[in-house]
Structure 1
Amino acid sequence: MSHVLLLHLVRNGIAEDDNLQSMLVGAVMRKIKSRTWKKQRYFKLEDDCMTIWYKSKKAGNAHSTFSVSDVEAIREGHQSEVLLSIADEFPAERCFTMVFRGRRANLDLVAESAEEAESWIRGMRKLIENLENMGEREKLDQWIWDWFKKADKNNDGRMNFKEVQNLLKMMNVDMNEQHAHRLFTMADKSQSGTLEDDEFVLFYKMLTQREDVLRVFQRYSADGQKLSLSDLDHFLREEQLVGDNVQQYAMQLIELYEPSDRAKLLNAMTFDGFLMYLGSAEGSIFSPQRRGVYQDMSQPLCHYFISSSHNTYLMEDQLRGQSSVEGYIRALKRGCRCVEVDCWDGANGEPIVYHGHTFTSKILFKDVVSAVGKYAFKVSDYPVILSIENHCSVEQQRVMAQHLNHILGDKLLKSTLDGKAPIRLPSPEDLKGKILLKAKKIGGLEESFSGTEDSLTGEPSDEDEVAEIDGDNLHRESVRHRVKKSKQRLSKELSDCVVYCKSVRFNSFKHARIHSKVYEVASFTEYKARKHLREAGTEFVLHNSRQLTRVYPSGFRTDSSNFGPQEMWNAGCQIVALNFQTAGEGMDLNDGLFSQNGRCGYVLKPSFMREVEKTFDPEMPQKLDGYNPVMLNIQVISGQQLPKVNIKEDSIVDPLVRVEIHGVPTDQAKQETRYIDNNGFNPVWYDTLRFTIHTPDLAMVRFVVEDYDKTSKNDFVGQYTLPLTCMQQGKG
């Protein structure tokens, strides 16, 4: 084990933790995949305290492993459909779920005893917390240690030159064998013909020598060895354009990123510290001032873009995909503030959630509400909107209302904040900790204060309305039939749960301007929204300055793909609902927009989209009062440790960087760097790309790294997206 890593484990009390000691011994637990698939597996924590080892039937007699860093969270008890299905067989105190990052399926486990389950739950949480609290030096050490283990095929704690050559291929390095052997020999201080611990660290440092960063370091270093406080001050002013309290900021950076205690005493930064600083969040192109909640949160809801999910219950496509409460948990943990619940009559009087008239699996409405209640405010205190697609009978609507009231309690907003019909929507700040229902409602809020009948025929569901269909005449007759069937009676109990988000049918902008109430929400398919944007962009923006609009993907996207949300944001649409389960450009832009403002799920729209007296046409931004285009110059310098995209073991990436601008139509643009031949490990470009941005307040910048070799089925290496207004000037 690496000495630095061992010190870190001891320092954080991990080496003496009883739960981790138990995990190091290991345990036989049941891995559960369904009510009928329950297999015993032997799980143990490896000595590095970073890897879980287990015996898998798939791998025959061999073992499988996964890294603790791949685990996002541990959930106790019956918190998954799989564990709920066996709740009658195994008690909650013996069950837990490991939730993995990305698209990897969760791991549901049942321990032999409650004590054993508790030991693994507490131990895993300790390890996850420890990883989150690691310093930059410790993270780097852990990363090097992970590579060492991958390359050390015979697990003898040493690495010979053949293993080093295999490592270079894994790391995306196409290096001359003679040069690689020279570095190997220089690092082999013990002259044993193998690299161990610190020797491997030395080899890694020689391998990853950053000439581009060294050039900057030496330009500002008075002695070429370190950056004094005044040197670092100079760099921060000139390159990072830091203006206020620069010396104090420089001292903070030294304290945070300088690994040498001697350098810290001298108030100086070595090259290692400089490298760690530039690779950290502080050195990122994303402005640190925009990471926390920095916007005014006291404006009406309609003045914000709201992170929103479509078909939230689905984990895959919308024809045969699995429905799961996990979809809600994952969306809410990503900062989503509007989730969709598609409700239908179920067996035993219990409403169910699934994609109607398809083969998607079904889950209980009450389980969805429980998950939302538990996870709604884990990452953001601002309000969550439950967008209900109601296909239930009056009887089961009453059951829905009972579950909402019983499970959510005071979190569910049941009346206006001041007891009066609103003349404007409340703000996210006003509604902190509240869950709002978006659904059809009997009458308006005005009538609700004087009482009404028990039930009333409702309008068609938003997504069933003929006017919203994508214009395909072949489907009109079947749609009309569905609309006719969707005429239903509403229960007063469920209607009473709808306050500030009443779903209504949209007639026209003129009708809305004269007759609509601020709490009424219209929904459009992407095609209908696009049509309104083309024909009446200015009116659309004006409409969205007064009330909420939801836009959702076409029903013909059976693969749960996404449309581009940017054009809907250009019109000021707040609830732009995307399939969170589907990776791609749409979700990249969504994640990028909502990466600011504390990732709270609400982003304040530009002032020209909020003020009624302003006129903004996304197609003609030049007509806006105060029109002020900006020049954007981006220098792409270098990259490091890019992943492979080709499954062939000896393939090496030929990377290029494409910079895309997403915004109003006149701002849509893309440019590419040249490609670097056979180097995915440390490519250097120094290419400058230039753009003119007409509406910077709406512009998103997306960096895409691709493999120039298009023979690969997947030439996508990675991406990073952020709002232009959050880009830090200087080097990132």
Structure 2
Amino acid sequence: MDPEGARIQDDPDVKVMMAGSTLRKVKSRSWKKQRHFRLLEDGLTIWYKSRWAGRGHSTFSVTEVEAVREGHQSEVLLSIAEEFPADLCFTLVFHGRQGNLDLVADSPEEAQAWIRGVRKLIHKAQTMDEKERLDQWVWDWFQKADKNKDGKMNFKEVKKLLKMMNVDMNEEHALHLFTMADKSESDSLEIEQFVYFYKMLTQRDEVWKVFQDYSGDGEKLMLEELENFLRIEQHEGEQSGQHAKELIDRYEPSETAVKQGAMSLDGFQMYLCSQEGSIFNPEHQNLYQDMSQPLSHYFISSSHNTYLLEDQLRGQSSLEAYIQALKRGCRCVEVDCWDGSDGEPVVYHGHTLTSKILFKDVVSTVKEYAFKTSDFPVILSLENHCGVEQQTVMAQHLSQILGDTLLTTLLDGQVPQQLPSPQELKGKILLKAKKIGGLEQCLDETLTDEVSDDEEMADGDPESPCTEDPPAANKKHKKSKLSRELSDLVVYCKSVHFHGFEHARSHAKCYEMSSFSESKAKKLAKEAGTDFVQYNTRQMSRIYPSGLRTDSSNYNPQDMWNVGCQIVALNFQTAGLEMDLNDGLFRQNGCCGFVLKPEFMRDATSQFSPEKPEGHQGYKPLRLSIQVISGQQLPKVNQKEGSIVDPLVRVEIYGVPQDQAKEETSHINNNGFNPVWNETLNFVIHAPGLALVRFLVEDYDKASRNDFIGQFTLPFTCIQAGYRHIHLLSKDGTIIPPSSLFVNISISELTSGS
């Protein structure tokens, strides 16, 4: 069936995995239990169970694993390092927000076999093309459904399998296809026959119709016909000739067709489902923006309370949370520091029950993971509640652990008129904290180590009930002491109190930055949008969630981006719309964590106001028309055998207030497999440079809230027009192949008459 699969199964490490091993699963110093692990025949599923528990077992797919870490590379394994040497230990790290799996093998050889084996399987899963992926998916379902493992399925079993696959189909039609596939007339299908049955079942009429429109003989698209399709429907213009040839070479499965320079329906469907046929413009996937402008000209992916994995009152503080945020391209992480009992500063959410971690461990973790996803700078936002002694300890840790990566001097020895660029700061970590005096007085040693009153609260989140100092300590006459050593490490990100836009225009320096609570920022955006936009052309602002969000929920970042705020900090640990928007905005430009703001937000004299986008010079509204054609293999929401989804598609636009809009299709009863809507949704976009488009698929429920099925969010400027597939993501932002939507998109200028 799968020649590639046969080869990987012959690999000695994979053989060890298939034979199975007893590994210790470790959750804490006290929880270490033996579990039997083995790789199933499909070469993708890892199954494990405890030796005593009767029936219970768990499985996960290799495709869910992002990486394997060797040795004591997690907090849990570090805590038992005395007991188990590093060469027995390894950690499986999962995509999304699923927790790690920490394992200990009986021998170094066995640990190595699993480490190498899982890495090979991950590599194989990543390099599969669309066709292999689909075959693998069908094969997995067949294995799941073939309960007696005889490699055959009768009609009753196939009907049950279709239900599991989210297909509710007319029994006569299913039986008709079953009989056609059962070439041996044995009233059962073997895997190859089942694949054929599945292909007939998923024959996509809507793709066939598009194919028919351009194919002269209805059998294939000749080179010129494919060029016409690319030019007229996919809006490819001049380069369609060369591209058509490349697409045939890349996606056409039939060698005969390739020789003729033609594309069959199979090849056409494969091209449409590929990355090139995706809604996301491939040219914007890579680093495509100018990275040499001042930092204040970029949106920067930023996390709030980065140390938390759960909520802000009882959650666990964890180094893992920093690793997850940095791996997602986050470029500004937050560290809340408090005096520790033994002279070592600790990080946690003050005055709450969240657990504590050591400041020095956080710095080491940031150093190790800062530049794995992106080379551009990382800002370490300090919320400092420590006394002078431990501040000095913090300064020592920062200098010793980060070494050259910590930026501690001006790039060219000159006091800047504008901030340096991401390009100039590649590979550097910047400290954002309070500073004694400014860069101008750096050489003037007569300063006292005290911060003036107006800078007192600059660094805290004043709204947050958990981080307030006790009232007695908060008296106005109290001067906060700053450690000179820590102050000296702050260069381009000096925290100051915000005194209004007027004051900033006449007095502020480009390296001074203020923090605003979400409510303060929202108020300023509404009352003085243009001032805020101008302020953000030169200085950076950091926005943080209200302290009342003890559940770690998020605010909508769009309101802040609309006025050019760069550091809009979100709780990365909380899935949902707000993180979808953040992931959507930063999915472009190589996922490097920096996105260049639209031109009208980089000009210091900009008159742009999000409340009145038509007031700025470059105003050019666009019409966006989305024909939602069909859906493919949507995942089930409830795993109950009997239930099948009733899907609907909602398209949501986020942008300036005038652009906020939602339109949805009707729902389709009992079909998550290949629902066809053929409905068109229309929008007008007034500020295209700021808009994000979110495609949401839900399971309709007339009695209660609809259930989430999948979503995909992207910047309006990254959309490719034409017939496109949208590959859906789970709540966690991870991919759920082979679920997709098929749409036809057109974007046109708004003429006065329309």
Superposed pair shares fold, TM > 0.5: yes
1:351 is matched with 345
Among 585, 588, 597, the alignment partner of 2:589 is 597
CA contact (8 A) 2:399 2:406 kept: yes
1:577 is matched with 569
The separation in 1 between residues aligned to 2:705 and 2:280, in whole angstroms, is 31
The separation in 2 between residues aligned to 1:484 and 1:546, in whole angstroms, is 33
CA contact (8 A) 1:453 1:492 kept: no
Q: How does 1:320-719 map to 2 (within 5 A)?
A: 320-451=314-445, 455-457=449-451, 459-462=455-458, 464=460, 466=462, 469=463, 483-484=474-475, 488-711=480-703, 715-719=707-711
CA contact (8 A) 1:465 1:483 kept: no
What residue identity is the alignment partner of 2:709?
V
Cα pair distance change 1:114/1:393, threshold 3 Å: farther
1:731 is matched with 723
Residue 626 of structure 1: how far off its partner (Å): 2.8
Cα pair distance change 1:175/1:479, threshold 3 Å: farther
The separation in 1 between residues aligned to 2:344 and 2:469, in whole angstroms, is 28
What residue identity is the alignment partner of 2:632?
Q
Residue 58 of structure 1: how far off its partner (Å): 9.0
The separation in 2 between residues aligned to 1:547 and 1:571, in whole angstroms, is 12
The separation in 2 between residues aligned to 1:293 and 1:476, in whole angstroms, is 38
The separation in 1 between residues aligned to 2:519 and 2:364, in whole angstroms, is 34
Greater shift in the superposed pair: 639-648 or 479-488 = 479-488
Q: Residue by residue, what CA displacement relative to the aligned partner does 1:410-449 show, whole Å, maximum 9, x if unpaired?
A: 1111111112221110001111111111111121112224
SS in 1 for 2:352: coil
Residue 265 of structure 1: how far off its partner (Å): 2.3
Q: Residue by residue, what CA displacement relative to the aligned partner does 1:486-543 show, whole Å, maximum 9, x if unpaired?
A: 9632222222221111111111111111111111110001000011112211111110
The separation in 2 between residues aligned to 1:487 and 1:57, in whole angstroms, is 62
Unaligned 5+ segments in structure 2 are 725-754
1:233 is matched with 227
The separation in 2 between residues aligned to 1:477 and 1:554, in whole angstroms, is 13
Q: How does 1:76-95 map to 2 (within 5 A)?
A: 76-95=70-89
1:64 is matched with 58
2:203 is matched with 209
2:194 is matched with 200
Q: Residue by residue, what CA displacement relative to the aligned partner does 1:321-350 show, whole Å, maximum 9, x if unpaired?
A: 111111111111111111111111223222
The separation in 2 between residues aligned to 1:155 and 1:413, in whole angstroms, is 61
Residue 712 of structure 1: how far off its partner (Å): 5.5
SS in 1 for 2:8: coil
Q: Residue by residue, what CA displacement relative to the aligned partner does 1:658-696 show, whole Å, maximum 9, x if unpaired?
A: 111111111111111121122111111111111111111
CA contact (8 A) 1:421 1:446 kept: yes
Residue 9 of structure 1: how far off its partner (Å): 3.2
The separation in 2 between residues aligned to 1:495 and 1:120, in whole angstroms, is 47
Cα pair distance change 1:487/1:179, threshold 3 Å: farther
Greater shift in the superposed pair: 615-624 or 399-408 = 399-408
The separation in 1 between residues aligned to 2:398 and 2:13, in whole angstroms, is 38
CA contact (8 A) 1:8 1:138 kept: no
Identity score, percent: 66
2:299 is matched with 305
What residue identity is the alignment partner of 2:672?
G
Q: How does 1:252-331 map to 2 (within 5 A)?
A: 252-331=246-325
The separation in 2 between residues aligned to 1:677 and 1:289, in whole angstroms, is 38
Residue 227 of structure 1: how far off its partner (Å): 1.6
Residue 112 of structure 1: how far off its partner (Å): 1.4
Cα pair distance change 1:712/1:274, threshold 3 Å: farther
Among 150, 153, 162, the alignment partner of 2:147 is 153
Q: Residue by residue, what CA displacement relative to the aligned partner does 1:303-336 show, whole Å, maximum 9, x if unpaired?
A: 0000111111111111111111111111111111
What residue identity is the alignment partner of 2:183?
K
CA contact (8 A) 1:644 1:653 kept: yes
The separation in 2 between residues aligned to 1:448 and 1:491, in whole angstroms, is 15
What residue identity is the alignment partner of 1:684?
V
The separation in 2 between residues aligned to 1:452 and 1:430, in whole angstroms, is 32
What residue identity is the alignment partner of 1:325?
L
Q: Residue by residue, what CA displacement relative to the aligned partner does 1:111-133 show, whole Å, maximum 9, x if unpaired?
A: 11222222211211111111111
CA contact (8 A) 1:464 1:479 kept: no
Among 156, 160, 163, the alignment partner of 1:162 is 156
Q: TM-score, normalised by structure 1?
A: 0.95
1:8 is matched with 4
Among 98, 102, 116, the alignment partner of 1:122 is 116
CA contact (8 A) 2:437 2:447 kept: no
SS in 1 for 2:48: strand
SS in 2 for 1:292: coil
Confirm whether residue 176 of structure 1 aligns to residue 170 of structure 2: yes
SS in 2 for 1:342: strand
SS in 1 for 2:436: coil
Q: Residue by residue, what CA displacement relative to the aligned partner does 1:220-252 show, whole Å, maximum 9, x if unpaired?
A: 122212222112111111111112322221222
The separation in 2 between residues aligned to 1:421 and 1:60, in whole angstroms, is 70
SS in 2 for 1:183: helix
The separation in 1 between residues aligned to 2:401 and 2:469, in whole angstroms, is 37
What residue identity is the alignment partner of 2:252?
E
1:53 is matched with 47
Residue 711 of structure 1: how far off its partner (Å): 3.5
CA contact (8 A) 1:500 1:520 kept: yes
CA contact (8 A) 1:24 1:44 kept: yes
1:37 is matched with 31
Q: Residue by residue, what CA displacement relative to the aligned partner does 1:246-294 show, whole Å, maximum 9, x if unpaired?
A: 2221222222222223322222222111111111110011111211111
Greater shift in the superposed pair: 320-329 or 554-563 = 320-329
2:745 is matched with none
The separation in 1 between residues aligned to 2:662 and 2:441, in whole angstroms, is 52
What residue identity is the alignment partner of 1:93?
D
What residue identity is the alignment partner of 2:538?
R
The separation in 1 between residues aligned to 2:59 and 2:171, in whole angstroms, is 31
SS in 1 for 2:149: coil
What residue identity is the alignment partner of 2:15?
Q
CA contact (8 A) 1:307 1:576 kept: yes
What residue identity is the alignment partner of 1:244?
E
The separation in 2 between residues aligned to 1:476 and 1:269, in whole angstroms, is 63
Residue 715 of structure 1: how far off its partner (Å): 1.4
Cα pair distance change 1:447/1:148, threshold 3 Å: same
Cα pair distance change 1:98/1:712, threshold 3 Å: farther
Residue 358 of structure 1: how far off its partner (Å): 0.9
Cα pair distance change 1:58/1:723, threshold 3 Å: farther
What residue identity is the alignment partner of 2:208?
L
Q: Residue by residue, what CA displacement relative to the aligned partner does 1:451-494 show, whole Å, maximum 9, x if unpaired?
A: 4668434743546465xx38x9xx99987556449963222222
Q: TM-score, normalised by structure 2?
A: 0.92
